[in-house]
Structure formats: structure tokens, C-alpha cells
Amino acid sequence: MKSSIATTALLVAFGAASGAAAQDTLPISGKTCDQLLEQYAGLPFTDILPLEAGPVTVDGSEEEIVVGFSQTGFNHPWRISMLEAAQAEACRHPNVSMIVLDGNVDVAKQNNDVRDLLARGVDAVLLSPVESAALIPASRAVMDQGIPLIVMDRDVPTDKTLFIGQSNVTMGEKVAQKMADDLDGSGNIVVITGLQGSSPAVDRDQGMKNVLENYPDIEVLAVGDGEWIREPAVPIMEDFLTAYEDIDAVFSHAEESSWGAQLAIARANRCEDGILHYTFDGSNAGFKSVRDGTFRADGNYTPFIGDIGMRAALYTLTGREIPGAEAYSQPGQQLALPDSPTVVAENAEEWIGRGWGDFEPPLDPCK
């Protein structure tokens, strides 16, 4: 817990929310605590690890608690939404502040960022890694210092205080099952993954494979790394369309990839092929694309877990047990979050407004 003038100056210089007034604009999100607290009421998991608003007491003291957050990158609104949830929780506690660092989707930079947080003397680290194995050195550095390490969304295969996330395997299975049902168990598909080597990409792929084992007449023609964003997906899909005359569906690990694939389909004058899209991410824009028929299914993967990560860090610092935490296949403990329903045409209207993001989907170039 930090209290010196020098430390406080350091926090302000690097954009922490230390002592943030209700109208102060917080880093990256650009939102005030008033705005974030309005959002807090709508977050989906505030009943998990509940914590009353007000100062957080550690060993009888209400000194400032500084939590570092190392994010994969802020090049995607999903990542900013995760941060907003964490900032909203911090805003509920006047002696809790954050140092937020942007990994720029670079494993070397993110490893250095985590060590930077340690050098600044944070009391806990929230980490959402670029790649799982690549962040082992940084994770070990945190644990070696004996401070809480809360890993979110993407896991690291080394010791940590707690990993928090929804199951990408079961989510992948549900989306793949919808695809198999729509194809009547037979067809040709292509796959655009998330960043290869990241745990969500590995797990969503495994979920798809688990289902396709039961459908030998569904053939995976090709796989490309879409890196979670739209730009790489366009040339990947263009290559697929050049190589294969008969494609029935695209199984993409991210909505951005699906929108990119649909653009490539239009550019190739293949709209009449009726290629179906199955995707993930859970944005309001994605749900609108389901409603409008561009997507057939959207795996409802929420970014609103940053508040749980913050509460887990505060639970640990205050010596409280974490209900629901249990041993799992990786070192450390896991807090498995419940799956959200896969969004399909029948429930899309119900879910619009409950996802993340306030942007509109791109116009469907095939309509």
C-alpha cells in the first residue's frame, strides 16, 4: 500500500486513477468515475465476489492500494470494455487506484510492462496476456514477489493466484453445434482463428473439433490466423475463395474476422453462394449482425470480467477466501464463470443492448 508523495506523483504521471474525482477522465477509457459507476449497475457478474463500496481495509489500514493492469492491447473495443469494468470497480473504493499499461499486442513489451509494474511497487497485478506461454516469465516474476496475480480471459500455463474466464471450449462447442445443425451434418467449411497460440483461439478450435468429430461429412478445407481483427481476415478469405469453389460456412473466432470475411466474399462476387458465418465476441454490433442475418450465431463471450479481477485482487489483499476458486488443469486456481447463451436469430433482439460496445456493425456488402 503506497502513501508517499513521491509514489503518488509517479502514479499520476503514469495515468493511474489515484484519488480520482468523480469527474476526472480516466486513462484509455476516457470515462469519468460517474460514467463508469452508471455502467457498473449493468455488469453481468457483480454478484460474483461481491464487495461493498467504500474504502478497502488491509490489516486495519485504509492506505492507498495500487493495482497494476497489463492488457494485451487496446487496439480492440473488447479490450477497452474489460478495462472499463475494472476501472468501475476501482471507482467504488476511494483508496484503490490503477496503473494501466498497453501491451500493444507484443509479447516482449507486455513482459516488460509487467516488470515495470513491479518496479513501480504495485500491490497486485491484473494480467490479460497476448499469448499464454509467452507470458510465463512475467507471471513468474509477479509470483516470486509474493503479490497477487489475477489472470483474465487468456490463461498462462504457470503458477498464478487465480485465473478468471468463461470456457471457450464449451462456447466453441455450442457455436459449432449450431453450424453443424444448419449444414445438416454435411458441408465444406473454412476457419479463421484468433491469434494462434492464445488460449481462447486454442480452446475455441478445440470446441469446434469436439463437435466435428461427430460429423465426418463436414470437411475443414483450410485454416488461417485472423489475429482477432478485421484486416488480416480479408486477404485470408480472399485466398480461401480463390482456392475453393465450394465453401458452405466460415467458422471465425472473432466478429471482426467474420465481417472481414463477408467483405472478401462480396469483393469476389460470391454473395450468391450463401456462405454462412459463425463467430464469437458478444458485442451489441455482433448481435445486430445476427438479427440482420449476416451471422448465424455469435458466441456470447463477455469482456465484462475486469471488475471480478479487481475484486479478486482486493479479496486476496484483505485475506478473504475466493468462493468458487478451485484447482484445475493448469498451475494455480481457476474461477470458472458461467457460459452466456449463444446468440442466434431467435434471441438476438433480447441480447442487443446487453453486449459490449456502442458502435454499429458494418453494412453487409452482400445486401
Residue 73 CB partners (closer than 8 Å, separation 6+): 79, 102, 103, 104, 105, 106, 130
pLDDT at 3: 34
- Sheet holding 297-299: strands in order across? 218-225, 187-193, 249-252, 276-280, 297-299
In the chain, which residues fall in CATH 3.40.50.2300?
Answer: 5-166+303-336, 168-301+342-351
What CATH number was assigned to the domain covering residues 168-301+342-351?
Answer: 3.40.50.2300
Q: At the topology level of CATH, where does 5-166+303-336 sit? A: Rossmann fold (3.40.50)
Nearest to 94 by CA among 40, 51, 36, 55: 55
pLDDT at 23: 73
- Which of the residues in the chain have pLDDT under 70? 1-22
pLDDT at 297: 98
Tell me how many degrees the CA angle 83-84-85 measures, rounded to the nearest 5. 90
pLDDT at 1: 65
Q: Where are the beta strands (DSSP E) in 121-275?
A: 124-128, 149-152, 162-165, 187-193, 218-225, 249-252
pLDDT at 76: 86
Q: What is the pTM of this model?
A: 0.86
Q: How far is CA 344 from its chain centroid?
A: 20
pLDDT at 283: 97
pLDDT at 235: 98
